[in-house]
Structure 1
Amino acid sequence: MNGRKSVTAAVIASLLAGAVAWACGPMFPNQLLDDRGATLKAVPQNTFAFEVARLLPATDKLLAVEADPYDYSEKPNAATMPDLTKEQAKRVDTLRDSETGAIAIENGKDLPDDVRWYVAGAIDYSRSNAACTDEDLSSPNDDAEEAMKHARAAARHACRDPNGDAMDQALANFQKVTALPADQSVLRGVWAAYMLGEAHSQLAYNAVGTPAFAGERDAAAKAFAEARTRAVAGGSDNEGLAVASFGEEARLWLLGSDGHYCDWSALNSGSGCIAAVKPADLKHAIALYAAQAGHGSYGAVQSLSVIAEAVLHAPEQVAAIVDGPVSQRLLVAYALARVDARVDGKPDDRLADLVAAIEKVGLDKVAAADRLAALAYQTGRYDLAAKLTAKAPGPLASWVNAKLALQKGDLAAAAAAYADAARAFPKADDPKASLAPASAHLLTGEQGVLALARGEYVEAMNHMFDAATAVGGNGNVYDDYGSGVGYGNDMAFIGERVLTVDELKSFVDARVPASPVVKPDPSDKEAAYRPIPLNDRLRWLLARRLVRAGQFDEALAYFPEGKDERYADVDLRETVRDYAKDLHDGDHAWTDIGKAEARYKAAVIARGYGMEIMGYEQSPDYTDNGGGLQCGSGQSGASMKGPYVTEGERTRFNDSVARPDLRFHYRYIAADKANASADLLPPRSQAFAAVMCKATGWMQDGPASYMPDPEDCTPVVVSEREKRIGQYYDRYVKQGPYVDWAEDFGRNCEEPDFDRARQMVKAQRIAAVKHFIRRNLPYEIGAFVLVLALAGVLIVRRRRKA
């Protein structure tokens, strides 16, 4: 029975190679603000999986039991019969080795009757196919090596010459199970009915072109339906056979008029076999796969995908089945989600042909007008799209109306339509929802893009924050192909480069509370690597902006409380306090040496913790990835020249630029502080040499400087960093003292000794006084005598007056 999902397995296998190929290297999500014109023009749509799961929603509690197609771990198989006791399971394992079902029946009398007869039927069914060769396993359509692989996986259907006696015994044993009273066939009634369907399916495949075909197909369909009925009634179905039976039954109806089955290999080979299937049969097969998809089957989604792709390449078949609501919705869903509107720069005629075919049937027979409206919009049928949105009001229709308004350049009407769509968002568990959660997130993000275009910057932040919060994590969505949507990145850009500091502070105070403080666990070795919640990340961004603006006291509350290794190995609030004090003392200390020492201390903090206390979340520092990569998030000057960017936003972007606008800009700030410290130090002091050495070393630390545009990785011919290295070293050579560690200047620096500098200043002042006295001694004596004479004259005059 493990082969019952062969079509599913083949589809999954074909997808995995691509998924693996895309999994290499850094994964950066697409940002809505990268190309705002494309973002606001994009066609409203849901994923194909979302749409087909709602073609025929389940009305029962049956669930698909399928392996995760993206789980590559070699997990042990679950117990085949977990509904049996351990003793019964061991007995079943023993019976499986029986040569015939009759022997198993005789030796399994200690087991429940339905289990015993079922095991006997399974043994005989395996015997019926045991003699098949590889040649026998191929079907009339399987002439390629890849097709052979799928044929082997579906051996029970492809064996054209089974052992008839063994097959008859298998059928008889399975029928004995289904003939038992309901309360005596709970364990294996579903299983037996399913296997009856499998057996009759095989017989039907082998009877194609004969009078027996119709009877065998009907018998298979009846058995599969019975399996579902029994499962709904409570029969054991821990392997999901009831849901799998939809797909097995659907395959029976993909028979072409030429007598060949339009199976997996034929569909994927481009044979055009789908055109030979009767429209009624094709619609029936689609309905069965849709029912399977409605029960959560990934395999059914893929089966519907290959069918839809094949049908869209057969215009006659499109015209023949679009009158059916399920098949019509399938084709529209596939066209929206999986077909590019343009191929090699030219429109894909299949989309326009599909719209025309449905239009010909009549707009009164449209199964999902909002979906068709989106497709009409994609093909440029804007008038038709407007008519269709009026027929199916809801969030998707309003989303299409927003696109139509944007196409006319009416931003106000577009904003109103987006608002209508947001107000009509369905509940997450609504089976009739017209928008998938991911589509709702995208719509909210697009509202943010439009708000920016209208100059409503705080409103844009609200929308993008809502989208980022809704998806969770860091606010970005990563798909299996290395992209996704970067709502969190777009939110951070608006908060860092578009809003003013005051606007961002007001926003955070109103909407972004801090997470509860958790007492650190010393035994948690992974504490430093745990993700920072989105709210706390945004608060940290604000804190760093406030530091850059010099608003140190206001910044403190937005840094984490106490030492939190997710942010830094120090208490960032205390670090900022120290930095602010050093900056103040650097201008207001009593002495020049005191000022120089404070400036150097501030420089050390800026160099050591600049990323954590003042770094930009995105360009040029990229705190969001720890500074490891100079790309992946944010916007550049080039993207700010695109459409839907206001002059006001460009002004705000330029006003909030880093100074200097260079990668790890805080290192330049640190070097500037050290250079300013040297301004107040005796040039021939060790401290002067040391602070210039430190400044040079910080520049030598790198990183390599690139052009301001993160997408341009061409190194600057002579970078600002290299210029500063030369300037600092030249200053030392011209003004500084000889030190024995100067040979490796910048790499082997002593710590500056400010006390020695103070002593040097004191000694220099004393020496200056002594020098002045020695040089001017005669004049000093003359002046002294003159003073004494004047004093004597004054004394004599006073006595005479007295």
Structure 2
Amino acid sequence: MKMRTLGWLGLFAGIAVVWACDGWSPDEGLVAGDTALSRPFETNFQADLVAYHGPAKGTHGRFDEEKEVERRRLAASEALLVELRRATDSWTSARREKLLRPVALHLASRVANQGGVYQLSPDGPWKLVVDRPEVVFPPRASQTLRYSEKDAQAQEAGYAEAIKHLPAEFRFYFRSLDYEGDDGALLCDELLALPAVQRAHLTAVAHYRRARLRMQLLDHAEKDDAAMRRALAAIRADFEAVGLAVKAGSPDVGGVVFAAQGWLAHLRCAVLPLPRLRALGEADLTLALRAYLEQRQGGEPSADDSIFHLLRAAARCDDFAECARDPEARRLMTAFLSGGGQPAQGPATFDLDGVVRHARAWLMALREAKVDFAADAVRLSALAYRVGDWDTCARTLRDAPAADPLAALLRARLDLRAGRSVAAAKTLGALLQPQARRFSLGVYFYDFADREHGANPAELPAYRFELSEAQAGQLAKARSELATLLLAQGRYAEALDHFYRTGQIKDYAYVAECVLNLAELKALVDRNWPEDAPTAKPTVKRLKYRIDDEPEECTPLPPAQAIRHLLARRLFRTGRVAEALPYYPAEVRPAVAHYLALFTQAEDKTKAKRVRADAYWRAALVLQELGDTTQFCDFGQDWTSGFDDSTDQEDKRPLHWHDVAGLPRVRVQPIGEEPDSLLAAPGPDELARVNVWIAANLARPDRAHRSSRYAVARLALKAAELLPDDDVAGSRILHYAGSLLKYMEPPAAQPYYRLLATRFKGTELGAAARRTHWFTALACEPDPDWIQKGR
């Protein structure tokens, strides 16, 4: 016999839950030019399932799923012990203690070996506990034990001896738990061959156990069709016998009746590849789907996942005829494909071409079944759009609700493809108008009910309590597409406003930095985005989920802060620091004001040179502390320590500062000539504005706009230039400033080196620079009092 030490786990089964995808990412839009307008729409299959059948009962959050197996192990072990105690009620307490305790220890150690903790009362294993408090009955002092490897051998020996003296049905059952396949099934055969009175406690669970063991053999069985049909029939008969046995009085140990219904569904759709089940005449997807829906309402945590896998299996082999004929299967298959057939976690089910291919086959199956598309007009319109069947999409949309967000998106997209961009913008604007007051910034989505966790509703996006997440995503998509259309029409301020409200970070920054001039941007911010009123800090921290980000502990930013900060940085870059001050976030204004005072003093030529130098140096250190907060531009060249891989030369040069793909170039120089990438192409005015920006910021870039090191170094250079020759403070300042740039851009550090090696050659740092022809490796921590100390 082939031993299987964990065979007892066959009493329960489950499939990991796959999370449904949201189908929309805030970083769509102009990030890839305007090609987002050619992307298909994906709905949320999990949200559709809830809308059709209500929330599933008994489901757990995603962070509880890993404990589900332990819960089931515990429930099964406890149920077996309950029946064992009932079967041995006539035994003396000493005999029960001698024989039942080793059995309980054996089962408990298996649970604890998976990371759990178990408890036993001193006079009998009445209750097992795993990772949670439980009342132990009878109420005696209990001891908490942890599994220990050193005890394993003794426990196994005690268990093996104890089961020899158990009632026959328990003896056969516990022995079967240590074997797999035919060996375990033969022991179940012996159990079920006992007279009914001798298997009163385990008849149902023995049928369940035997069916599960025989099912394992199907995974690698090479049977002809007739033999496979017989094997499936025998397994099905055992699962059906579970319910009959319970009706006849056998205990439902560990909920095997409910579990058996799920496995009966599994036999009809997934126990073998679906084409093989079809060939055997064993497939019945609609029956399986109804069973999974019943299990879903019965509290089975894996039911949603089972439904997903059933639909995925049918779609993979384009097995659509049966689903097309059944109304419920038809509705769920449409929702599955409309959602892209993709789980939220893990690899995609299909590649993009696969989704289109399966969607096209599904639409064909519906036509062959003479299905009226009006019954599910919105989802079927989305599928028709995905496969490029514009006529079917337009016809089906006639039956879609006028106020449905996805239907409005599709109508606008069809108008756009037909060259009616004004009509498309009007459709999207009409969709958004009723939501104008309650649709907030749209950047943050929360994974749980914030109100229940002590959050102040005033601090949360307004629509969190007004709209479902699916609606919020569709309205955000509508706002994003409307912004793109308005941009193409030259309505820049409106486009920026919509991009910003939707959380399109790169897109609103593109309009604010590269399209609008400074006066236009300032007027827009002053008009539409006044400073946020101060709010109290949240009473608790909570998990934030950006749709496209990993979770992190945070609180929402005030809605207007980001765009006001962008304006402040633009004003700073043009030298209008005093004007920029009120637009900075409140927490950095004191530092910016301090910088402004120092810089104003440094620029005052009536002051002594050393006073001005000291002010320049202190201003430089304030900028160093502020980092990129003061003047960073979202677009421009990037720096990397890597090498240029665009050449085939073996001796590759460091790349360092280089142009990057994306905005703004991709907007005015779209990739490829496909019509889809030109649905909302920029007009002549936008092209002219962006090309001016490119000439000023990419052809002749100011590095300080992308790295604060350059701005700090420039102020330090001004300070050193005002100091006398061979001033120690001047040498230190130049060494520090040059060290900021010597690795990032050696040519940019040359002026600092030359000044240090000439005017300050009499200092230690200057002499070292002349000797090594570069800055020394000596660390030089900046001191704001260097100049004052040098007097």
TM-score scaled by structure 2? 0.61
Give the partner amino acid of 1:321: C
In structure 2, runs of 5+ residues without a counterpart are 1-7, 20-24, 97-123, 127-135, 138-165, 218-227, 343-347, 440-462, 542-551, 640-656, 671-677, 770-774
- Find the partner of 1:164 among 192, 196, 216: 192
1:462 matched residue in structure 2: 497
1:307 matched residue in structure 2: 310
- Find the partner of 1:351 among 355, 359, 362: 359
1:373 matched residue in structure 2: 381
C-alpha change, 1:132 and 1:607, in structure 2 (3 Å) is closer
- Find the partner of 2:717 among 656, 663, 675: 675
Whether 1:325 and 2:330 are equivalent positions in the alignment is no
Q: How does 1:709-728 map to 2 (within 5 A)?
A: 721-728=745-752
Whether 1:417 and 2:427 are equivalent positions in the alignment is yes
In 2, the alpha carbon distance for the partners of 1:160 and 1:580 equals 86
Whether 1:387 and 2:395 are equivalent positions in the alignment is yes
In 1, the alpha carbon distance for the partners of 2:395 and 2:193 equals 63
- Find the partner of 2:39 among 22, 39, 42: 42
User: Cα deviations across residues 258-299 of structure 1 (Å, max 9, x unaligned)?
Assistant: xxxx41xx23xxx62242476993212123324545778663
Given that residues 667 and 698 in structure 1 are in contact (C-alpha distance below 8 angstroms), is that contact kept between their aligned partners in structure 2? yes
Q: Once the 2 structures are TM-superposed, how far is the Cα of residue 553 of structure 1 from its aligned partner?
A: 3.8
Q: Once the 2 structures are TM-superposed, how far is the Cα of residue 587 of structure 1 from its aligned partner?
A: 2.5
Given that residues 56 and 291 in structure 1 are in contact (C-alpha distance below 8 angstroms), is that contact kept between their aligned partners in structure 2? no
C-alpha change, 1:398 and 1:290, in structure 2 (3 Å) is farther
In 1, the alpha carbon distance for the partners of 2:240 and 2:32 equals 55
Give the partner amino acid of 2:557: L
1:8 matched residue in structure 2: 15
2:572 matched residue in structure 1: 547
Q: Once the 2 structures are TM-superposed, how far is the Cα of residue 374 of structure 1 from its aligned partner?
A: 0.9
Q: Equivalent residue of 1:368, what SS? A: helix
Given that residues 341 and 349 in structure 2 are in contact (C-alpha distance below 8 angstroms), is that contact kept between their aligned partners in structure 1? no
C-alpha change, 1:204 and 1:306, in structure 2 (3 Å) is same
Larger Rg: 1
Q: How does 1:230-245 map to 2 (within 5 A)?
A: none
Q: How does 1:213-228 map to 2 (within 5 A)?
A: none
Q: Equivalent residue of 1:741, what SS? A: helix
Q: How does 1:59-98 map to 2 (within 5 A)?
A: 62-64=57-59, 68=63, 71=66, 77=71, 80=74, 95=82, 98=84
2:288 matched residue in structure 1: 285
Q: Once the 2 structures are TM-superposed, how far is the Cα of residue 388 of structure 1 from its aligned partner?
A: 1.1
2:369 matched residue in structure 1: 361
User: Cα deviations across residues 176-227 of structure 1 (Å, max 9, x unaligned)?
Assistant: xxxxxxxxxxxxxxxx9xx799589779989975999988776667899999
Q: Once the 2 structures are TM-superposed, how far is the Cα of residue 586 of structure 1 from its aligned partner?
A: 2.6
In structure 1, runs of 5+ residues without a counterpart are 16-27, 83-88, 139-154, 176-191, 228-235, 255-261, 469-486, 522-528, 563-571, 623-628, 704-720, 760-802
In 2, the alpha carbon distance for the partners of 1:441 and 1:241 equals 46
Give the partner amino acid of 1:583: F
In 2, the alpha carbon distance for the partners of 1:79 and 1:674 equals 68
1:610 matched residue in structure 2: 627
In 2, the alpha carbon distance for the partners of 1:549 and 1:123 equals 91
1:131 matched residue in structure 2: 176
Q: How does 1:110-125 map to 2 (within 5 A)?
A: none
Given that residues 325 and 366 in structure 1 are in contact (C-alpha distance below 8 angstroms), is that contact kept between their aligned partners in structure 2? no
User: Cα deviations across residues 147-178 of structure 1 (Å, max 9, x unaligned)?
Assistant: xxxxxxxx89x998462146956985589xxx
In 1, the alpha carbon distance for the partners of 2:697 and 2:367 equals 53
- Find the partner of 1:534 among 541, 557, 572: 557
In 2, the alpha carbon distance for the partners of 1:241 and 1:458 equals 63
In 2, the alpha carbon distance for the partners of 1:159 and 1:70 equals 33
In 1, the alpha carbon distance for the partners of 2:27 and 2:703 equals 24
Give the partner amino acid of 1:574: P
1:588 matched residue in structure 2: 604
Whether 1:407 and 2:417 are equivalent positions in the alignment is yes
Given that residues 52 and 290 in structure 1 are in contact (C-alpha distance below 8 angstroms), is that contact kept between their aligned partners in structure 2? no
Q: Once the 2 structures are TM-superposed, how far is the Cα of residue 69 of structure 1 from its aligned partner?
A: 7.9
Q: How does 1:593-672 map to 2 (within 5 A)?
A: 593=609, 594-616=611-633, 635=663, 637-638=665-666, 640-642=668-670, 643=678, 644=680, 646=682, 648-649=685-686, 655=693, 657=697, 660-661=702-703, 664-672=706-714
In 1, the alpha carbon distance for the partners of 2:371 and 2:288 equals 25
TM-score scaled by structure 1? 0.61
Q: Equivalent residue of 2:302, what SS? A: helix
User: Cα deviations across residues 116-148 of structure 1 (Å, max 9, x unaligned)?
Assistant: 9xxxx999589447437856359xxxxxxxxxx
Whether 1:505 and 2:525 are equivalent positions in the alignment is yes
Give the partner amino acid of 1:250: A
Give the partner amino acid of 1:452: L
In 1, the alpha carbon distance for the partners of 2:284 and 2:292 equals 12
Q: Equivalent residue of 1:35, what SS? A: strand
2:53 matched residue in structure 1: 56
Q: Once the 2 structures are TM-superposed, how far is the Cα of residue 675 of structure 1 from its aligned partner?
A: 2.8
Q: Once the 2 structures are TM-superposed, how far is the Cα of residue 107 of structure 1 from its aligned partner?
A: 8.4
Q: Once the 2 structures are TM-superposed, how far is the Cα of residue 46 of structure 1 from its aligned partner?
A: 1.6
Give the partner amino acid of 1:407: R
Give the partner amino acid of 2:747: K
1:33 matched residue in structure 2: 30
C-alpha change, 1:95 and 1:620, in structure 2 (3 Å) is same
C-alpha change, 1:105 and 1:64, in structure 2 (3 Å) is farther
Q: Once the 2 structures are TM-superposed, how far is the Cα of residue 376 of structure 1 from its aligned partner?
A: 0.9
Given that residues 720 and 733 in structure 2 are in contact (C-alpha distance below 8 angstroms), is that contact kept between their aligned partners in structure 1? yes
User: Cα deviations across residues 62-109 of structure 1 (Å, max 9, x unaligned)?
Assistant: 3235875875x8997599579xxxxxx99x88656x4x8532587899
In 1, the alpha carbon distance for the partners of 2:297 and 2:540 equals 46
C-alpha change, 1:203 and 1:423, in structure 2 (3 Å) is farther
Give the fraction of aligned pairs with identical amino acids, expressed as a percent. 20
Give the partner amino acid of 2:629: E
Give the partner amino acid of 1:455: G
Given that residues 333 and 371 in structure 1 are in contact (C-alpha distance below 8 angstroms), is that contact kept between their aligned partners in structure 2? yes
Q: Equivalent residue of 2:764, what SS? A: coil
Q: Equivalent residue of 2:487, what SS? A: helix
Q: CA RMSD in A?
A: 5.6
In 2, the alpha carbon distance for the partners of 1:296 and 1:332 equals 25
Give the partner amino acid of 1:599: Y
Q: Which has the higher mean CA deviation after the structures are superposed, 32-41 or 290-299?
A: 290-299
In 1, the alpha carbon distance for the partners of 2:498 and 2:332 equals 32
Q: Once the 2 structures are TM-superposed, how far is the Cα of residue 383 of structure 1 from its aligned partner?
A: 0.5
In 2, the alpha carbon distance for the partners of 1:212 and 1:438 equals 49
In 2, the alpha carbon distance for the partners of 1:226 and 1:461 equals 71
In 1, the alpha carbon distance for the partners of 2:763 and 2:72 equals 74
Number of aligned residues: 610
Given that residues 369 and 389 in structure 1 are in contact (C-alpha distance below 8 angstroms), is that contact kept between their aligned partners in structure 2? yes
User: Cα deviations across residues 202-258 of structure 1 (Å, max 9, x unaligned)?
Assistant: 79989975999988776667899999xxxxxxxx99x9989867634523544xxxx
User: Cα deviations across residues 377-430 of structure 1 (Å, max 9, x unaligned)?
Assistant: 111111111111122222222222222223223322322333455468899899
User: Cα deviations across residues 635-692 of structure 1 (Å, max 9, x unaligned)?
Assistant: 3534552354535555665649596146743322222233334444445655554543
2:592 matched residue in structure 1: 576
C-alpha change, 1:403 and 1:561, in structure 2 (3 Å) is closer
Q: Which has the higher mean CA deviation after the structures are superposed, 652-661 or 610-619?
A: 652-661
Give the partner amino acid of 1:381: D
Give the partner amino acid of 1:601: R
In 2, the alpha carbon distance for the partners of 1:226 and 1:437 equals 52
C-alpha change, 1:419 and 1:214, in structure 2 (3 Å) is same
In 1, the alpha carbon distance for the partners of 2:465 and 2:206 equals 36
Given that residues 243 and 257 in structure 2 are in contact (C-alpha distance below 8 angstroms), is that contact kept between their aligned partners in structure 1? no
